[in-house]
Amino acid sequence: MKEIPLNERIIFALDVPDAAAARLLVEQLDRDIKFFKVGLQLFLAGGWPVIDHIASRGNKVMLDLKLYDIPATVRLAVEQFAGRGITFATVHGYGPVVSAALAAETEVKILAVTVLTSMGDEELAELNFQGTVEDLVKQRAGRVLERGCHGIVCSAREAAMLRTSFGPEFDMVTPGIRPLDSAAGDQQRIATPARAIADGSDYLVIGRPIRDAVDPAAMTASIQQEIAGLSGSA
């Protein structure tokens, strides 16, 4: 397993509606968590100042916009990420989109989203895909990794399969992480932190279970202890 600092293993999902709420959470949590995800809702509400605030406090940023557009537009968009302290940026796992993102001249690592963790068999049937969710994830992952993509965003349910199929080199980020006794929410393909790490996940995207806990610091410590027992985290 990759040696990743324990305080970077959890990517805290700042899924809040405004910049003030995001800044408060960062300031409450970044003694223990040093990696934060900014998604579409927050980015539209707070823009670059949110990113700058997170990075200015010595934290890492995953910009989760899941870009999907014509390749030229994707490349130009990703070039806007340069020099902003962004570690990971997400695009949809479509080959030409991934190649365009990789062609941008930035230091940002590109993560391809394979299949959204909210998607289940019913949604897959609407795509007329003749196979399982796991089949589609594997197909998309293989295509984007062949193009040199730095990493994959997938459900932890597919982590072991992807590690077995494609090896240890790429970064694997898994949302849909729920500690025992946590509600699934809008996620269908979920896993516990221990299961995700044991199956090969490098980073765990966690939001509500920490944010809504009676004691967020204690919940964070509990999850990190679980991770430390199974990973090479320092």
Catalytic position from the list 34, 60, 66, 138: 66
Q: For this structure, is 66 an active site residue?
A: yes
Q: What is the 3-state secondary structure (H, E, C) of the chain?
A: CCCCCHHHHEEEECCCCCHHHHHHHHHHHCCCCCEEEEEHHHHHHHCHHHHHHHHHCCCEEEEEEEECCCHHHHHHHHHCCCCCCEEEEEEECCHHHHHHHHHCCCCCEEEEECCCCCCCHHHHHHCCCCCCHHHHHHHHHHHHHHCCCCEEECCHHHHHHHHHHHCCCCEEEECCECCCCCCCCCCCCCECHHHHHHCCCCEEEECHHHHCCCCHHHHHHHHHHHHHCCCCCC
Active site residues per annotation: 66
